Amino acid sequence: MFKKISKVVWILSVISLFTDIASEMLYPVMPIYLKSIGFSIVVIGILEGVAEAVAGLSKGYFGKLSDVSGKRLPFVQIGYVISAISKPMTAFFIQPAWIFFVRTTDRLAKGIRTGARDAILSDESTSKTKGAVFGFHRAMDTTGAAIGPSLALLYLYYHPKEYITLFYIAFIPGIIAIAATLLLKEKKKTNLSPTLQKVSFFSFLNYWKQSPEEYRKLLIGLLFFTLFNSSDVFLLLKAKDAGLNDTHVIGIYIFYNMVYALFAFPVGSLADRIGLKRMFMIGLALFSIVYFGFSINTNLYIFLGLFFIYGLYASATEGISKAWISNISDKKDTATAIGTFSAFQSICTMIASSFAGIIWYTLGAKTLFILSGTMALVVIVYLWRMKEKPE
């Protein structure tokens, strides 16, 4: 099974592993740290919303720029360097403007690298191995998402409230990721024709008109689902409201990432055999089960089971969606196609989380989870009826 994974894919996956260790060490700590230096919940929400919007929109721009320039490696290297440097910068000053700048810079770095990196992953696979390659990368990436919070919990257990030191420690895996990018080499591609064409920030939006019809139909389904797929924070809040303590909640989050990491590669390989579309639809069915379950459950052990299924859902959709997009878009537009999807997805995610908060507040958590689970079933029907062109 690992024969499908090239040296380049291994290197990119190791880079993502260490980058996610750094990021996820800080993810559960960031809100606590920001509150400790005087940030309100509202300001924290605005900060995260702006940061994610910058990340999403920049994925479209830099993906387009990568395709137009015919270069991949510079975007990958610059993106990971900026991401690593931004981690300790958070601890330098506590002024709101500085925190906004650093957090946005970190997310911008993700936007710079994502389209080009995914294009390299696509180039390192065939239409019959896309699921395995993207699944393997997601597995390594998510392993970092499990290791990072675990290290943070361990550190804070022995050094309570020493958040600033943790920001400096997170720089170490970031440095390892930067060093690993030096092992990559730019490949000459005959399908990429560098031009002197100027690329405006929103030029990737033009790709919607130029893209294949199947791409547009797929994105409509994916983005509609995203509108009802709010932040995982709401699942954790529901677990918290059901009586779980902070340690249990963080532990469940780590457990979910471990399941996701464990199954992403084998599920991706299975998707190559049964079809990416079929696997994605199975993932949506699992999502529905989880959300319907969250609408009625209050038991810790059932929550563990639901988060296990949620990990399976993630392994059947996250990498699979990018593999599917890369299969139906022109090879010379791979970074633009994935970047455009990511840009639209980030906007829809912001809308989804905002509406989720409103629905939870006005109609209750049960209504929110039932609505999300139902809409996932609607998308399954849409994708099932969507015709695919034979390869």
Task: Of 313, 303, 312, 300, give the one whose Cα is nearest residue 376.
Answer: 313
For 202, phi and psi rounded to 5 degrees?
-105, 15
**pTM for the whole structure:** 0.81
pLDDT, one tens digit for every residue, the chain (391 residues): 567 789 999 999 999 999 999 988 887 677 777 777 777 756 766 777 677 777 778 888 888 888 888 888 999 999 999 999 988 888 887 787 888 888 888 888 988 998 899 999 989 988 889 899 999 999 999 999 889 988 988 888 888 878 888 889 999 999 999 999 999 988 765 444 555 566 766 777 778 888 888 999 999 999 999 999 887 878 888 887 887 776 777 788 889 989 999 999 999 999 999 999 999 999 999 999 999 999 988 787 888 999 999 999 999 998 899 899 988 888 888 888 888 888 888 888 878 877 888 888 888 889 999 999 999 999 999 999 887 665 4
Tokens of 126: 């065939």
Tokens of 37: 């230096």
- DSSP annotation of 188 reads P
Q: What is the pLDDT of residues 64-113, one digit of tens each?
A: 888 888 888 999 999 999 999 988 888 887 787 888 888 888 888 988 99
C-alpha to C-alpha distance for 328 and 66, rounded to whole angstroms: 19
Q: What is the pLDDT of residues 260-298, one digit of tens each?
A: 999 999 999 999 999 999 999 999 999 999 999 999 887
Q: Is the distance from CB of 321 to CB of 122 less than 8 angstroms?
A: no
Q: Is the distance from CB of 162 to CB of 65 less than 8 angstroms?
A: no
Cα dihedral 272/277/279/285 (nearest 10): 180
Tokens of 129: 């191995």
C-alpha to C-alpha distance for 294 and 291, rounded to whole angstroms: 5
C-alpha to C-alpha distance for 25 and 21, rounded to whole angstroms: 6
Q: Which amino acid belongs to residue 42?
A: V
- DSSP annotation of 187 reads P
Tokens of 307: 């988060």
C-alpha to C-alpha distance for 12 and 17, rounded to whole angstroms: 9
- The CA-based diameter of the chain, rounded to the nearest angstrom, is 60
User: How many CB atoms are closer than 10 A to CB 67?
Assistant: 29
C-alpha to C-alpha distance for 375 and 307, rounded to whole angstroms: 19
Tokens of 278: 């079929």
Q: Is the distance from CB of 26 to CB of 167 less than 8 angstroms?
A: yes
- For each of the domains in the chain, give its residue range(s) and CATH number, in order of start: 8-184+205-385 (1.20.1250.20)
Tokens of 372: 């999300």
Percent pLDDT > 90 in the chain is: 40
C-alpha to C-alpha distance for 24 and 174, rounded to whole angstroms: 12
Tokens of 156: 């804070």
C-alpha to C-alpha distance for 321 and 77, rounded to whole angstroms: 24
Q: Is the distance from CB of 279 to CB of 270 less than 8 angstroms?
A: yes
Q: Is the distance from CB of 233 to CB of 357 less than 8 angstroms?
A: no
C-alpha to C-alpha distance for 215 and 129, rounded to whole angstroms: 19
Whole-number CA gyration radius for the chain: 20
What separation in angstroms does the CA of 261 have from each of 218, 250, 273, 320?
A: 25, 17, 20, 14
Cα dihedral 87/91/94/98 (nearest 10): -30
